[in-house]
């Protein structure tokens, strides 16, 4: 199940720990970010071991609009990650909400 910008904002407001992965490129991350770990989509297969500790925990992936993060979600799920959620609309929607 994916996550809405409203739900993510509520969780941030409550101070909840969210395992957030930004799959955009570095220059996009430098322009604006939500504080997550930057792992560009193209490097995700090579860096998946960094996420092993979160394999059974909730992970929220996001990008600019939700397309790349949908691919990241599919990839992580195919590698056995059990609770990956895509931020619907990406950072664009988050910044407009």
63 is catalytic: yes
Residues 6+ positions from 69 with CB-CB distance below 8 Å = 23, 41, 61, 62, 63, 86, 87, 90
Distance CA 60, CA 69 (A): 9
Point out the catalytic residue in the list 63, 70, 72, 91: 63
Q: Could you give the residue numbers annotated as active site? A: 63
């Amino acid at each position: 199940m994916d996550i809405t910008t409203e739900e993510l904002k509520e969780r941030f407001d409550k101070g909840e720990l969210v395992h957030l992965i930004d799959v955009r490129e570095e220059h996009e991350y430098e322009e604006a970010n939500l504080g997550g770990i930057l792992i560009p989509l193209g490097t995700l297969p090579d860096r998946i071991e960094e996420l092993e500790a979160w394999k059974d925990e909730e992970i929220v992936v996001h990008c600019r609009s939700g397309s790349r993060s949908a691919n990241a979600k599919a990839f992580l799920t195919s590698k056995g990650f059990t609770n990956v959620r895509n931020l619907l609309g990406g950072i664009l929607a988050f910044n407009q909400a």
